[in-house]
Chain A
Amino acid sequence: MQDFAQSFLLAGGLILEADPALVEIVLLSLQVTLSALLASALIGLPLGALLAVTRFPGRRALVVLTNALMGLPPVVVGLLVYMMLSNAGPLGVLRLLYTPTAMVIAQTILITPILIALTRQVINDLDQEYAETFRSLGVPAPTAIAALLWDGRFSLVTVLLAGFGRAVAEVGAVMIVGGNINHVTRVMTTAIALETSRGDLALALALGLILLTLALAVNALTSLINAPARMSGNVRRA
């Protein structure tokens, strides 16, 4: 099991010398996942909030559906997006297969249900506090949703981080729609899969450690930005 020690050394070495191949892969990982996160935030946050504050027939069923879709298997998402974007598929003319854009689309589909479901829960809890007030003031629904999203922003950051974590760590979808093409669509997870299949377990694990470090850095950064804001927010509210 000297692989473990070797992996830490390798990971450290790769980071210290800022290996150009590694930098490229890390940047593409971040670019793809952050794009997907942004796109699904634009879709998921408003939809989740809407689902929380409105009442309509079939709403319960929709809530159950989005909750269930949180468990979407990445490889199934990859397959569906592949079939759509393939030259033999309906969207083949867009020529998006084996591009980072295809990977963004797949990850967006994968994490949007997570953002909708978790946002709905956060906003739902807040809404129970505010619903009475909104009603007595006659606040229109869009304004209420905007207010609730703003008020729940700290919890929603955690929601976004959940989406980020799921997207940055998945391999099944991006492998199929991206093709793991060197310098074009190779990201951290597909590189790890490749090194594993080459039997270079130490390098694979080293890349895994770097991915973990990356996730840790993103979370730490968010926490740093969030902490002072949260405090001043509390002061204002008090």
Chain B
Amino acid sequence: MHQFNRLFARTILGAGLALATLVAPIASAQAADQFIVVQSTTSTQNSGLLDVILPEFTKKSGIEVRVVAVGTGQAIKNAANGDGDVLLVHAKPAEEKFVADGEGVKRFDVMYNDFVVVGPASDPAGIKGMTDAKAALAKIAEAGSPFASRGDDSGTHKKEQALWKLAGVDVKAAKDWYRETGSGMGATLNVAAGMDAYTLTDRATWLAFQNRGSLEIVTQGDDILFNQYGVILVNPAKHPNVKAEAGQAFIDWLIGAEGQSAIAAYKINGEQLFFPNATATN
């Protein structure tokens, strides 16, 4: 029986060594360069924008940017927990509240694009070509055509809620035509394509989205569909772990000439996805 004990000890020892070798490269990879964590929204990632512009910043500054792409609601929550250095999202009222609560230092405009209403080509609610977004939504409700809502407290979801309110439609009381997916923009577009539903999406995600099925843009061009992105340094006074210097360097680059022209240069199929507007307002 002694041999079993020895064998057992050897196995434990071997497993321990193996664990050490497995974890070691992980640890060393982290020690590499200086990095910051940016809490951002799925639209900036899914559109491919960040994949293109971030390497330019890293090349210049030596600071690696690690992006956590979630819904705006979750991004703000994560940042308020101190789990990020910079917040890059698109829900201005919520961003201003974030700063007012002392969680963030200062908010800067970065860029904008717009929201569009997409729907099935058959257009059961008959809203194709309309430019009045709230009237279009009212017609969807009236017709009882399926509408896929993010339902996840994201920037897009907040915008959609505001639009329903303006349209005078109480979606909480809505019957089965109003369907909350509780997931990201891409997932919601997949759902909408699958059930021939209307949905509200930011133009960037839409342009980059490949599984459109019969979906097409039915309503666009309303001023109210304006979609502003803002950037905020998480407050180091409240969250001591925040890398204030590196984070601010990233913000300065993003709203400076180089970042702004990198944003303007990003196109899919010749179409510009985001329009820089930092200098105009800051």
Which A residues are within 8 Å of any B CB, using their own CB? Answer: 31, 34-35, 38-39, 41-42, 86-89, 92, 95, 97-101, 104, 139, 142-143, 146-147, 149-150, 179-182, 184, 194, 196-201
Say yes or no: A198-B68 contact (C-beta < 8 A), given A42-B19, A88-B81, A101-B23.
no
> Considering the complex, which residues of chain B in the window 183-199 have a beta carbon less than 8 Å from any beta carbon of chain A?
184-187, 189-190, 193
Closest A-B pairs by Cβ, 10 of them? A197-B186, A87-B82, A199-B211, A179-B68, A146-B8, A88-B81, A199-B210, A199-B209, A146-B4, A181-B66
- Whether the pair A146, B26 counts as a contact (CB closer than 8 A) is no
Contacts of A184 in B (CB 8 A): 29, 66
Contact among A149, A181, A197 with B67 in the assembled complex (CB-CB below 8 Å): A181
- Number of A-B contacts defined by CB within 8 Å: 108
B282 interface residue, CB < 8 Å from A?
no
B106 at the A interface (CB under 8 A)? no
Given A99-B26, A100-B26, A101-B26, residue A200 in contact with residue B83 (CB < 8 A): no
Looking at the assembled complex, report how far the CB atom of B4 sits from the nearest CB atom of chain A, in whole angstroms. 4
**Hey, which bits of chain B sit against chain A, CB under 8 A?**
1, 4-5, 7-8, 12, 15-16, 18-19, 22-23, 25-27, 29-30, 37, 42, 45-46, 51, 66-69, 78, 80-83, 184-187, 189-190, 193, 208-212, 239, 241
B23 with A35: CB separation less than 8 A? yes
Evaluate contact between B7 and A197: CB separation under 8 angstroms. no
Residue contact A104 to B184, C-beta cutoff 8 Å: no
Q: How far is the CA of A139 from the CA of B5 in the complex (A)?
A: 12
A181 and B1 CA atoms in complex are apart in Å by 49
- Which of A95, A139, A182, A201 has the largest count of B CB atoms less than 10 A from its CB? A182
- Residues A197 and B4 in contact, CB atoms below 8 Å apart: no
B49 to chain A, nearest CB (A): 13
Q: How far is the CB of A118 from chain B (nearest CB, A)?
A: 18
In-complex Cβ contact of A98 among B1, B23, B42, B66 (8 A)? B66
Q: Would you call A38 and B68 a contact (CB within 8 A)?
A: no
Contact A179–B211 (Cβ < 8 Å)? no
Known: A38-B18, A196-B190. A87 touches B81 (CB 8 A): yes
Known: A197-B185, A199-B208; 18 extra A-B contacts, CB below 8 A, are A35-B26, A38-B18, A38-B22, A39-B19, A86-B78, A88-B80, A98-B66, A101-B23, A101-B26, A104-B23, A139-B1, A143-B1, A150-B4, A179-B66, A181-B37, A198-B186, A198-B209, A200-B210
Q: Which residue of chain A is the closest to B39 with respect to CB atoms?
A: A179
- Residue in B closest to A32 when the chains form the complex, CB atoms: B26
Residues of A within 8 A of B45 (CB): 194
When chains A and B are docked, how far (Å) is the Cα of A104 from the Cα of B19? 11
Q: List 15 A-B contacts (CB under 8 A).
A: A31-B22, A87-B81, A87-B82, A88-B80, A89-B81, A97-B83, A184-B66, A194-B45, A194-B46, A197-B184, A197-B190, A198-B46, A199-B189, A199-B193, A199-B209
* Nearest CB in chain A to that of B186: its residue: A197
Closest Cβ neighbor of B12 among chain A residues: A42
Residues of A within 8 A of B241 (CB): 87, 92, 95
Partner of A88, one of B82, B187, B211: B82
Does the CB pair A92–B82 fall under 8 Å? yes
Residues of B within 8 A of A98 (CB): 37, 66, 68, 83
Contacts known (A180-B69, A181-B66); A196 close to B26, Cβ less than 8 A: no
Residues on the B chain within 8 Å of A142, using CB: 5
User: How far, in angstroms, from A147 to B68 measured CA to CA in the complex?
Assistant: 47
Q: Are B15 and A41 in contact (CB under 8 A)?
A: yes
Known A-B contacts A99-B30, A179-B66, A182-B51; the reply to A198 vs B208 at CB < 8 A is yes
CB-defined contacts of B83 to chain A, threshold 8 Å: 86-88, 97-98
By beta carbon, the residue of chain B nearest A200 is: B210
Q: Which residue of A lies closest to B206 (CB)?
A: A199
Q: Is the CB of A31 within 8 A of B66?
A: no
CA distance A42 to B20 in the complex (A): 13
**What is the minimal beta-carbon distance from A150 to any residue of chain B, in angstroms?**
6
The complex places the Cα of A184 from the Cα of B45 at a distance, in Å, of 15
Nearest CB of B to A87, in Å: 3
A2 to chain B, nearest CB (A): 13
B68 touches A143 (CB 8 A): no
Contacts of A146 in B (CB 8 A): 4-5, 7-8
The CA of A201 and the CA of B193, in the complex, are separated in Å by: 13
